[in-house]
Amino acid sequence: MNEYLEYLVESGISLAVLFSIYFFFLRRDTFFGLIRSYLVFSIIFSFSIPLMHISGTSIPVYMPVITLDEITVSSATTEGMVSGLSATGILFILYSLISAAFLVRLLMNLYRISMLLQNDGS
């Protein structure tokens, strides 16, 4: 789930940057074919760039090794433990709820458009 959240964040940042370029520089332009191409390219680029991982040359870092004594954990002391959601779990649930709300809104608007087209045609 962590990779999924990382993908969504990277894709969202990329889409926001490319859309802000469109909004500030290209929205009043009259070359509609160019603008349409840019918007389609920005969507495809935003969804595909998080899938590419570029690895550069890394410098090896030598750190001293510290050994610790062995620790044993027994399952008999689980009364004091509190089970709860992690931060990524809460973000995933919040993202899912917002996405579901936008999906319901989209479906309602599509239904309204179909009703308008149906009433206009008859």
- Per-residue model confidence (pLDDT) at position 79: 56
- Per-residue model confidence (pLDDT) at position 51: 87
- Per-residue model confidence (pLDDT) at position 112: 95
H or E stretch including 80? none
In a domain, 72, yes or no: no
Counting as low any pLDDT under 70, the low residues of the chain are 1, 54-57, 75-83, 121-122
- Quote the number of domains for the chain: 2
Claim to verify: residue 4 and residue 48 sit in the same structural domain: yes
Q: Which domain holds residue 99?
A: 85-122
- Assess contact for 22 and 38: CB atoms under 8 A: yes
- Assess contact for 14 and 46: CB atoms under 8 A: yes
In a domain, 80, yes or no: no
Q: Give dist(CA 3, CA 108) in Å, integer.
A: 32
H or E stretch including 18? helix 2-21
In a domain, 17, yes or no: yes
In a domain, 61, yes or no: no
In a domain, 68, yes or no: no
- Per-residue model confidence (pLDDT) at position 1: 67
**Does this model's pTM top 0.75?**
no
In degrees, rounded to 5, the angle at the alpha carbon of residue 57 between the alpha carbons of residues 54 and 58 is: 110
In a domain, 67, yes or no: no
